[in-house]
Chain A
Amino acid sequence: MTGRVIVITSGKGGVGKTTTSANIGTALAKAGNKVVLIDTDIGLRNLDLLLGLENRIVYTIVDVVEERCKLKQALVKDKKNPNLSLLAAAQTRDKTSVSQEQLKDICDQLKKKYDFILVDCPAGIEQGFQNAVAGASEAIVVTTPEMSAVRDADRIIGLLEAKEEIESYKLLLNRVRPNLIESNDMMSVEDVVEILSAELIGVIPEDTGIITSTNKGEPIVNDETSLAGQAYRNVAKRIMGEDVPFLDLTQPKGFMAKIKNLFTKLKGKV
């Protein structure tokens, strides 16, 4: 079998790459796929925390490339889902500890045994980014409806387009706040898609549940009642090729708005 290698990247830090990796990975595994998450943020690892696996890590990606252990030994199985494994980043080293060729080699080995290999990319466009992208053939560009995040996403898209190995890239819009969009204080999903002219794979609403789920080391896709969790599950389905409509994130309307709506409807009938 040949698995798909997808890099999750953004350029700007703090837009939710790691949260996205953890959630999409968990959702794909829950749907029955064999998934490996690779944390390439060497020196600043966090994916282990979001999955609640920080106490189980013995070997890291640097141990694998420096041949202190076999690749299989460094894969940490998730607590709940045996389909999901993590290859952690080293915390005490830096991005130069791994080369592009080495990462590509690791991805190629994992492709033979897993359905999906998700590569969590560090912020920036330097070696860490180049490493993370090296083994991937697809990319998910995470951004938020903020100017700096969109600008950085545009830069990343330019770099991805220049890479022959990347066959396709999709946009994931994170931390969307429908009430701010409605009041015209924030760029809408359509605005961002138009500016970046990229295909959308998901829209994730801002959700305080993300904070509590991170604190517990439990990805929010495991929470069936969460809207953000639902949005991430939909992203996973779209990755698997299902045609899932985007969630309607508009807030339930107030009393006045309902009356106004009623009048406009009546007006239309008359």
Chain B
Amino acid sequence: MKDLFANLYNKVLSFFHQSENKDRESAKDVACNRLKLVLMQDRTNLSPAIMDRMRNELIDLLSKYLELDKELLDLNFEQEDEQMALMLSIPVIRAKEESEILALLEAEEAGVNEEEVDEDEESDEDDNSDDVQEEKEETDESEENASDTPDEEEPENDSEEEEEK
């Protein structure tokens, strides 16, 4: 009889424990989430130096067309279902005028023609960095993401700018 009561008491106790646990994240969920994050980092075996280089090259490319907040540009890998994705968040201050862009591109083309001889030596280095990037097919997605993000964030940042003025 005593055993029965003890048993019942434990059952009641464990019932309350369970309802308490439901509010908190379970140990299993914590483990899964931490693991997914750490594996994402493990699987992207690009060194910080290479990541920095990629970031700078992307800034250079996009700066031709957009005025960006370079400090707030955020670049990192995330897991999307089974696929790894490169997520780019780029605060856009404003899109450049078409005439401005064309002038810049023309100036650049003229510059390239002049500097062609000097740049030959550097081109080897550039090739290497390209190889590293091509190892990750997903980097292709970065361009998609890059083109998506500015559109979304543009209005928001514009309004912020106006407020500051």
Which residue numbers of A lie inside 8 Å of B, CB to CB?
147, 150-151, 154-155, 158, 181, 184-188, 191, 195, 197, 256
Instruction: Tell whether, in the assembled complex, residue B39 and residue A187 are in contact, meaning their CB atoms are under 8 Å apart.
Output: no
Q: A158-B43, A256-B11 are in contact. Are A147 and B34 (CB under 8 A)?
A: yes
Query: In the complex, which residues of chain A have a beta carbon less than 8 angstroms from the beta carbon of B43?
Result: 154, 158
Query: In the complex, which residues of chain A have a beta carbon less than 8 angstroms from the beta carbon of B11?
Result: 256
* Nearest B residue to A154, CB-CB: B39
- Across the interface, A184 reaches (CB within 8 A) one of B29, B35, B42, namely B29
Instruction: Tell whether, in the assembled complex, residue B32 and residue A187 are in contact, meaning their CB atoms are under 8 Å apart.
Output: yes
Instruction: Tell whether, in the assembled complex, residue A197 and residue B34 are in contact, meaning their CB atoms are under 8 Å apart.
Output: no
B6-43 interface mask toward A, CB cutoff 8 Å, 1 = contact, 0 = none?
Answer: 00000100000000010000111101101110110011
Query: In the complex, which residues of chain A have a beta carbon less than 8 angstroms from the beta carbon of B98?
Result: none
- State A200–B72 Cα separation when bound (angstroms): 43
Instruction: Tell whether, in the assembled complex, residue B28 and residue A187 are in contact, meaning their CB atoms are under 8 Å apart.
Output: yes
Instruction: Tell whether, in the assembled complex, residue B27 and residue A150 are in contact, meaning their CB atoms are under 8 Å apart.
Output: no
Query: Is B82's beta carbon under 8 Å from chain A?
Result: yes
- Residue pairs across A and B with CB atoms within 8 Å: the count is 39
- State A181–B38 Cα separation when bound (angstroms): 22
Distance in Å from the Cβ of A254 to the closest Cβ of chain B? Answer: 8
Q: A154-B39, A195-B36, A197-B82 are in contact. Are A147 and B31 (CB under 8 A)?
A: yes
Q: A147-B34, A197-B82, A256-B11 are in contact. Are A188 and B28 (CB under 8 A)?
A: yes
Interface pairs (15), CB distance under 8 Å: A155-B42, A181-B28, A184-B28, A184-B29, A185-B26, A186-B27, A187-B28, A187-B32, A187-B35, A191-B32, A195-B32, A195-B36, A195-B39, A197-B82, A256-B11
Query: In the complex, which residues of chain A have a beta carbon less than 8 angstroms from the beta carbon of B21?
Result: 184
Distance in Å from the Cβ of B122 to the closest Cβ of chain A? Answer: 31
Query: In the complex, which residues of chain A have a beta carbon less than 8 angstroms from the beta carbon of B42?
Result: 151, 154-155
* Nearest B residue to A148, CB-CB: B35
Query: In the complex, which residues of chain A have a beta carbon less than 8 angstroms from the beta carbon of B82?
Result: 197
- State A150–B28 Cα separation when bound (angstroms): 13
- Across the interface, A151 reaches (CB within 8 A) one of B29, B32, B35, namely B35
Q: A197-B82, A256-B11 are in contact. Are A151 and B28 (CB under 8 A)?
A: no
